[in-house]
């Protein structure tokens, strides 16, 4: 590597190697500390979920569960977290609203991304800037007016937009649109126009070109954007809290957990078991898109 | 790189359009107009997210409460700037605003410094070790806000929480006594400490990984040159790394500010009720006024929301400038 080691490989190697290793020891220790800081709360959540009640409610907290048990998971999965409703219903609610929003969002954002990537039109830049702004205005500020809108719309038309999943579905779809459109735009742009033109010359129809040429190349982007939208909707809390109110039958998982915590704040076993179950799908999906997550959020700031 | 491709594609497209127009005017494969393609998304965004921003401003100037939503009730009355006047003269509001700014500055500051240091650390560690640490950080990043808040509440619980138990066992000369029963969630100082810890825990990985990606893009020769000139690690950071990554740092800073100004879920779990006004932050105050106060005061909630939106739009303006400069809007 350096000039000294090529000139005197033996001496340099013997003398420097242990010293170097010793000098990088603080780096390793710092790395280990970062790892522990990151992982410990997650570990503690899972460990608590597996501890019997006696081990949780003691001052002699142990690092490992001494007598691991599935009782909390059993209570969460087979019992009634909220009187009269079981976990599977909440899981179903969360899945319906999340997958529904992801599906609708994927369709709408693919159309919009095509327009932005493939056409030059007058309001194109305005549309992109609008997406960037909307992405930044927080739901916490808009929640009152959105709630009033949905309430008045329900009163006027008889459609039930509050107290069930339909309102959530609409809001979640809209919320993830800006980022999914912007992410997909990059993927559509990357497909060379020449491919489509060649197919057109061969006599392929617009639909054939779309399905056979564009879609396979854009599919990875669509998956990444969909996972992004999935995580957003799966974790969403404040809209669910506002829209669902007392209709416990329709609660999504985060809302169920917060309700259960509010009522039975001392039952840390089931609370941690349910938190673990809420976290698992996100963890799995996150590992797939983790790289794209960084580039999706910082866009062009990191190049190379 | 992506831009070059895009521009090349554009040029290609313009070329084709001209050719088609000249040589085959009879071909009727008219492409669907782009407005048709963006219409569904645009309508949904306008109705669900854009229009409510306009309404928020409108409602903040009226006496809108729950009563006005009931059937056969008169609509809300025009109120001028009464809500804003009340806010500006209310010491409670100023405390909440100050707390929001202070807590946000601390969250963002700690996240940025810690994230940058860890990004540099990851860059210096051998690949295998840096991968392990990164995977660990992903766990913190991926944990849903609600799960994270609950586990931190459990960690800091009086009597049984691991932190209190551990602090109690440590020698008194080091940490003082009485930790076992200490309730972190009652006083703003201690509650905000935990809130900041949760937020930093969840957001430093994104900064670290972004900085790591940025560091990888800086040519090594620059550091070697700095070394030849006898620059210390500190100097080579300020004279090489920082200028090279300035756009990235600006973007990360803006994103962190916007995300941390709106913190709600974590506070909702840590404060666990709307009883204690001392621990409110702006987003919490909006929600309390709009849905928890009796009667719910939509006008006042909207006025606070306008204040928060203005703060965020000011930061967003800077974000837009960065995006436009980087050509993200082309």
Cβ neighbours of residue A78 closer than 8 Å, sequence gap 6 or more: A86, A87
Q: What angle do CA A226, A228, A229 make, to 5 degrees?
A: 65
Q: Exposed e or buried b for every residue in A192-229, given b needs 16+ CB within 10 A?
A: ebeebeebbeeebeeeebeeebbeeebeebbebbbbbb
Mean pLDDT of A206-213: 83
pLDDT(B17) > 70? no
> What's the pLDDT band for B30 if we cut at 50, 70, 90?
low
Lowest-pLDDT choice from A180-194, B18-32, B310-324: B18-32
Q: Chain B closest CA to A84's CA: distance in Å?
A: 23
Can you tell me the distance from the alpha carbon of B1 to that of B67, in angstroms, rounded to the nearest whole number?
57
Q: Exposed e or buried b for every residue in A65-77, given b needs 16+ CB within 10 A?
A: beeebeebbebbb
Burial of B241 (0-12, 13-18, 19+ CB in 10 A): buried
ipTM of the complex: 0.88
Lowest-pLDDT choice from A93-102, B180-189, B320-329: B320-329
Can you tell me the distance from the alpha carbon of B151 to that of A44, in angstroms, rounded to the nearest whole number?
8
pLDDT at residue number A214: 85
pLDDT at residue number A236: 96
**Whole-model pTM?**
0.88
List pLDDT tens digits, range B236-253: 888 889 999 998 999 999
**Which residues in chain B touch residue A124, judged by CB atoms under 8 angstroms apart?**
34
Which among B118, B130, B217 has CB closest to A302?
Answer: B217
Say what percent of chain A tops pLDDT 70: 91
> B253 phi and psi, to 5 degrees?
-60, -50
CB within 8 Å of chain A, chain B residues 72-131: 118, 121-122, 124-125, 129-130
Mean pLDDT of B3-15: 42
Q: Chain A closest CA to B17's CA: distance in Å?
A: 11
Can you tell me the distance from the alpha carbon of A173 to that of A230, in angstroms, rounded to the nearest whole number?
10
Greatest Cα pair distance in chain B: 91
Q: Is B258 within 8 Å of A138 when comparing Cβ atoms?
A: yes
Can you tell me the distance from the alpha carbon of A110 to that of A183, in angstroms, rounded to the nearest whole number?
10
pLDDT(A94) > 90? yes
List pLDDT tens digits, range A103-152: 999 999 999 999 998 888 888 999 999 999 998 899 999 999 999 999 99
Can you tell me the distance from the alpha carbon of B113 to that of B96, in angstroms, rounded to the nearest whole number?
26
Mean pLDDT of A283-304: 70
pLDDT(A5) > 80? no
pLDDT(B61) > 80? yes
Q: Is A111 within 8 Å of B286 when comparing Cβ atoms?
A: no
pLDDT(A198) > 90? no
Contact of B300 with B66, CB cutoff 8 Å: no
Contact of A177 with B327, CB cutoff 8 Å: no
List pLDDT tens digits, range B32-56: 688 999 999 999 999 999 999 999 9
Contact of B184 with A83, CB cutoff 8 Å: no
| CB-based contact, B316 to chain A, within 8 Å | yes
pLDDT(B3) > 60? no
**Which residues in chain B touch residue A288, judged by CB atoms under 8 angstroms apart?**
none
Average pLDDT, chain B: 88
Q: Is B41 within 8 Å of A57 when comparing Cβ atoms?
A: no
């Amino acid at each position: 590597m350096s000039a000294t080691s090529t000139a005197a490989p033996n001496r340099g190697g013997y003398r420097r190697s242990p010293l170097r290793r010793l000098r990088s020891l603080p780096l390793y220790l710092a790395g280990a500390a970062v790892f522990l800081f990151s992982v410990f709360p997650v570990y503690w959540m899972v460990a608590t979920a597996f501890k019997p009640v006696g081990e949780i409610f003691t001052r002699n907290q142990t690092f490992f569960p001494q007598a691991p048990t599935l009782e909390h998971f059993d209570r969460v999965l087979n019992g009634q977290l909220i009187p009269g409703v079981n976990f599977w219903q909440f899981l179903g609610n969360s899945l319906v609203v999340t997958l529904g929003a992801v599906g609708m969002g994927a369709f709408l954002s693919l159309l919009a991304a095509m327009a932005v990537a493939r056409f030059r039109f007058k309001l194109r830049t305005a549309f992109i800037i609008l997406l960037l702004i909307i992405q930044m205005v927080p739901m916490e500020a808009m929640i009152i007016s959105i709630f009033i809108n949905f309430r008045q719309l329900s009163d006027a038309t008889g459609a039930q937009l509050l107290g069930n999943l339909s309102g959530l579905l609409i809001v979640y779809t809209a919320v993830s649109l800006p980022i999914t459109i912007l992410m997909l735009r990059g993927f559509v742009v990357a497909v060379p126009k020449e491919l489509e033109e060649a197919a057109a010359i061969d006599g392929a129809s617009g639909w054939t070109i779309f399905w056979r040429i564009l879609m396979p190349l854009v599919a990875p982007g669509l998956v990444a954007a969909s996972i992004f939208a999935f995580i957003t909707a799966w974790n969403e809390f404040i809209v669910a809290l506002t829209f669902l109110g007392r209709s416990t039958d329709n609660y999504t998982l985060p809302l169920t957990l917060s309700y259960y915590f509010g009522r039975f704040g001392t039952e840390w076993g089931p609370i941690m078991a349910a938190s673990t179950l809420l976290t698992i799908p996100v963890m799995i999906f996150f590992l797939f898109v983790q790289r794209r997550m960084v580039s999706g959020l910082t866009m062009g700031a990191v190049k190379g | 790189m992506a831009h070059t491709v895009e521009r090349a594609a554009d040029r290609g497209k313009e070329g084709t359009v001209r050719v088609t127009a000249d040589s085959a005017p009879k071909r009727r494969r008219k492409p669907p107009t782009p407005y048709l393609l963006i219409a569904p998304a645009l309508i949904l965004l306008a109705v669900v997210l854009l229009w409510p921003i306009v309404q928020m401003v409108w409602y903040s100037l009226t006496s809108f409460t729950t009563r006005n939503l009931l059937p056969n009730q008169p609509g809300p009355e025009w109120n001028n700037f009464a809500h804003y006047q009340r806010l500006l003269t209310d010491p409670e509001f100023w405390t909440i605003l100050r707390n929001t700014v202070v807590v946000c500055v601390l969250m963002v500051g700690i996240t940025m410094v810690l994230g940058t240091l860890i990004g540099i650390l990851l860059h210096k560690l051998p690949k295998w070790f840096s991968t392990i640490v990164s995977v660990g950080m992903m766990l913190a990043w991926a944990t849903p806000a609600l799960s994270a808040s609950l586990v931190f509440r459990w960690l800091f619980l009086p009597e049984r929480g691991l932190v209190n138990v551990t602090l109690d066992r440590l020698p008194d000369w080091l940490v003082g006594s009485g930790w076992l029963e200490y309730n972190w969630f009652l006083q703003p100082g201690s509650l905000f400490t935990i809130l900041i810890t949760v937020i930093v825990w969840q957001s430093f990985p994104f900064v670290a990984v972004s900085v790591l990606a940025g560091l990888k893009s800086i040519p090594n020769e620059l550091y070697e040159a700095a070394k030849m000139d006898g620059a210390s690690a500190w100097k080579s950071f300020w004279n090489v790394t920082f200028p090279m990554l300035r756009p990235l740092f600006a973007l990360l800073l803006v994103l962190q500010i916007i995300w941390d100004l709106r913190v709600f879920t974590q506070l909702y779990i840590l404060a666990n009720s709307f009883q204690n006004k001392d621990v409110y932050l702006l987003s919490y105050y909006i929600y309390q006024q709009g849905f928890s106060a009796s009667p719910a005061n939509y006008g006042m909630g909207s006025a606070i929301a306008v204040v928060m939106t203005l703060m965020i739009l000011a930061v967003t303006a800077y974000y837009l400038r960065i995006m436009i400069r980087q050509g993200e809007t082309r």
